[in-house]
Amino acid sequence: MAEAGSGGPEGGAETAPGGGAVPEADAWGDLLAAALLGTERRRPPVTVRPGQDPAAALLDAAALSTVARRAGVRPAAAWPLPAPAPADPRPALPAAARRRLGLLLADRVGQGPSGPRAAPDLTELLPQWLAMANGHGYRAPDALLPALLDAARARTDLRPDALALAGPRGLWLARLNAEWKFALRGGPGRGTGGLSESATPEEVAKLWEEGLFAERVSLLSMVRHRDPAAGLALLAGTWATERAEDRLMFLDSLRDNLSPGDEPFLEQALADRSRNVRATAAELLSALPCSALARRMAERSRAHVRLEDPAGGAGAPRIVVRAPEECDSAMQRDGVVPKPPSGRGEKAWWLGQLVESTPLECWTEWFGGRGAAAVVALPVADGWQPDLHAAWCRAAVRQRNTAWSRALLGSPAAPLSTPPIAGEAALAAAVTASWRDPAKLLSALPPEERAGWVAEFIAAHGLSDAFRLLGVCAVPWSEPLGRAVVDALDIARDAGSYPWSFSGVMGLAERCLDPAQADRLEVLTAVSDEPEDGSPGAVGYWSESFQRLVGTLRLRAVMRDELNGAGETPSNSPETPTSAPPPDPAPPTAPQPAADPTAARTPHQTTPPESHPPTAPQPTADPTAPRTPGLAEPRPAARTPPRMPE
């Protein structure tokens, strides 16, 4: 072998040319030919000493040649260098936080913690850590970028935060390795190809014209954030030439800074070739209460839903519904889907779509100036209440109407509309019977009120229906909410059931409880006496679960302090800016728990973003279906205990 490495003549180093004692490459070829055929058949091109076996002489010469060629290896010609990675001006992580990230990412490899089940689950803490780190504006350590990209590849829920932390160098690296192609596509929070907020219009236009899809998505959201009209102009300029799935993603990115100025563009998009684009445009327009579409929908609703208020007290006022008889082409153009999902009557289906797109203020106007609570309290004739209220709920969520959300939520202590049924039956029941979707309505309320409502709900109903509600509460949980959850867990323990019936809530509590609660929880980790009617062994499992909860809370506090740089100077970062990190790095929204706590470990949840736009409307499905696919209640019945007690 003449070259350093086995890359062959084109990839390897050159052999030292002959001269002196170094044999020619040809000489090696001759030796090899003789060796292949055998010295019996071919006389080797070597000097054989008297009495020496020609084969031994061949080996002598081959050894000399081998060592000489190895000693004479020379450098190869360099391939073209990759373009250097763009600079990332963000400060480096404090040393302890950097070490923590290394451990969090190492756990993902699947070695799993060796300790008891009471040990914290690091894979569930990674999303929170990433969000906190991004809150501080740190950049990822270069050496951990491959592990970070691998983690994001395996878990789609990590991608936005992982890629934001990875920054421009992460994107640079992902371009070099086909396994990280996902980073170059889809989703917000990606690098904008090195463009900063202060980019000139020419730079923006150039990136918009030539950039990768991911860069364009983040560019659009950046420009929209700064100047909504400029962003819209950017999109309108190339709209006709975009692919349908790209149009859908771009259109969806208008959602966050939606304003009346977007109406003409959206009105135009109602005639788009793609059905999904049309549906999204209609949905966005109906979220603009002053839009022409909203007015048209309101007029239609008004013809079908009216207040019957007998004069002179001849009976209580009530709402009477006359369902639409047809779904004409004008309605369809405004986004009404004519064909209902199986099992639903088409008239009720059409009515629901009209009402959900009607500005909620209209009802107050039409129903004698009644406020939201009064309208919701009105009786509805002929069993139309579930359909009507469900549509109002969707409208309240879409229009982010606090008053209506509050009214539709009602009192948290009110009896549940569906009896709590465990497992799949509950999910099915929730879809068909429950017109209310408290989790989504809650998101329109201010965080404090939201937490208070959920706390009262848990105090009244326990934890079995609380999972999704907890998922929309701000992290860390407020003090009253945290107390309600802990109290409910304590009650459940005293009732003698197994902790894994509450594993979903337990997992949320580990991630969302304020770490300051750890000391208060400490007493619950003690192994108490077994209640007589309790499940065998449950006490031990509860103790273990609470230990894990306390351990996780403590770890979160440490992680937070590490990111704050508590007690140390920033690591290896001469360019660390002097600006202090924000005092409270906690992300404003709750982490999105995986449907099943065990599912988060499953590798390869790699769905290409195109086929799975986060907010793609699904016109044929029930519009009340949760927007976040992962946010479904775990099924406690499906969990099996790790060790069955005798």
Partner 1 sequence: MNPQGERWTAEQVLALAPDTASRIAGGELGTAGPWSGTGSDAQSVWGLCQGGGSAPYQTVVDLEGAGGPGYRCGCRSRRSPCEHALGLLLLWAGETGEGSVPKAAAPPEWAGEWLAARRSSATAPGVAEGAETADGTAAAAGADPVAARRRAEQRAARIEGGASELEQRLTDLLRDGLASADDDSHAGFTVWGETAARMVDAQAPGLAARVRELASVRASGPGWPGRMLEECALTHLLSQGFLHREELPEGLAATTRSRVGIPVGTAGLLASGPAVRDHWSVLGRQDSEEGRLTARRTWLRGRRTGRMALLLSFGAAGRAPEPALPTGLVLDADLVYYPSARPLRAVLGTRYGRPAPESEATAPPGTGIAEALADYGEALRDDPWLDAWPTVLSGVTPIPGQGGWQLADARTGTAVPVDPRCLQRTNLWQLTAVSGGGPVTVFGECGHRGFAPITTWDPHPVPL
Q: By CB under 8 A, what part of segment 132-191 binds partner 1? A: 141-146, 169, 172-173, 176-177
Q: Does 89 bind partner 1 (CB under 8 A)?
A: no
Angle between helices 292-304 and 275-286 (to 10 degrees): 80
H or E element in which residue 561 lies: helix 538-563
Distance CA 630, CA 340 (A): 25
CA atoms in the 13 A half-sphere facing the CB of 416: 20
**Least separation in angstroms between CB 353 and partner 1:** 50
Q: Which of 9, 24, 32, 271 binds partner 1 (CB under 8 A)?
A: 32
Instruction: Give yes or no for a contact between 269 and 277, defined as CB atoms under 8 angstroms apart.
Output: yes
Q: Which of 19, 21, 78, 604 binds partner 1 (CB under 8 A)?
A: 78
Fill in the amino acid letter for 549.
Answer: L
Q: Does 554 bind partner 1 (CB under 8 A)?
A: yes
3-state secondary structure of 537: coil
**Least separation in angstroms between CB 30 and partner 1:** 12
Candidate ranges 95-103, 151-159, 214-222, 530-538; the one touching partner 1 (CB under 8 A):
95-103
Supply the DSSP symbol for 380: B
What is the gyration radius of the CA atoms in the chain, in angstroms? 33
Q: Does 20 bind partner 1 (CB under 8 A)?
A: no
CA atoms in the 13 A half-sphere facing the CB of 282: 27
| Nearest CB to partner 1, comparing residues 36 and 240 | 36
| Nearest CB to partner 1, comparing residues 109 and 292 | 109
Size, binding site for partner 1 by CB under 8 A:
91
Q: Does 58 bind partner 1 (CB under 8 A)?
A: yes
Cα angle value 631/633/636 (rounded, 5°) = 145
Angle between helices 402-409 and 385-398 (to 10 degrees): 140
Q: Which of 25, 27, 76, 445 binds partner 1 (CB under 8 A)?
A: 76
Angle between helices 201-210 and 228-238 (to 10 degrees): 40
**Least separation in angstroms between CB 193 and partner 1:** 15
Q: Does 258 bind partner 1 (CB under 8 A)?
A: no
Candidate ranges 187-195, 335-343, 357-365, 565-573; the one touching partner 1 (CB under 8 A):
565-573
Q: Does 74 bind partner 1 (CB under 8 A)?
A: yes
| Nearest CB to partner 1, comparing residues 612 and 643 | 643
Distance CA 62, CA 35 (A): 9
Q: Which of 103, 240, 314, 580 binds partner 1 (CB under 8 A)?
A: 103
Distance CA 580, CA 574 (A): 15
Residue by residue, DSSP assigns 504-545 as HHHHHHHHHS-GGGHHHHGGGGS--PPPTTSPTTHHHHHHHH
Q: Which of 60, 267, 309, 465 binds partner 1 (CB under 8 A)?
A: 60
Candidate ranges 94-102, 224-232, 354-362, 456-464; the one touching partner 1 (CB under 8 A):
94-102
| Nearest CB to partner 1, comparing residues 169 and 398 | 169
Q: Does 4 bind partner 1 (CB under 8 A)?
A: yes
235: nearest Cα among 259, 188, 221: 221
Distance CA 168, CA 214 (A): 12
Q: Does 82 bind partner 1 (CB under 8 A)?
A: yes
| Nearest CB to partner 1, comparing residues 68 and 416 | 68
Q: Does 368 bind partner 1 (CB under 8 A)?
A: no
Instruction: Give yes or no for a contact between 105 and 48, defined as CB atoms under 8 angstroms apart.
Output: no
Q: Which of 17, 113, 536, 582 binds partner 1 (CB under 8 A)?
A: 113
CA atoms in the 13 A half-sphere facing the CB of 585: 22
Q: Does 460 bind partner 1 (CB under 8 A)?
A: no
Mark 191-224 as b/e (b = at least 16 C-beta within 10 Å): bbbbbeeebeeebbeebbeebbbbbbbbbbbbbb
Q: Which of residues 528-547 bind partner 1 (CB under 8 A)?
A: 544, 547
Q: Which of 419, 567, 583, 642 binds partner 1 (CB under 8 A)?
A: 567
| Nearest CB to partner 1, comparing residues 78 and 290 | 78
Look at the block and give the residue holding tokens 């030292």.
16
Q: Does 518 bind partner 1 (CB under 8 A)?
A: yes
**Least separation in angstroms between CB 33 and partner 1:** 9
Q: Which of 19, 20, 51, 114 binds partner 1 (CB under 8 A)?
A: 114
Distance CA 245, CA 413 (A): 44
| Nearest CB to partner 1, comparing residues 41 and 604 | 41
| Nearest CB to partner 1, comparing residues 103 and 314 | 103
331: nearest Cα among 347, 349, 308, 354: 354
Distance CA 347, CA 335 (A): 16
Q: Which of 377, 428, 523, 527 binds partner 1 (CB under 8 A)?
A: 527
**Least separation in angstroms between CB 512 and partner 1:** 18
Q: Does 314 bind partner 1 (CB under 8 A)?
A: no
Q: Count CB-CB contacts under 10 A for residue 174.
A: 25
Q: Does 73 bind partner 1 (CB under 8 A)?
A: yes
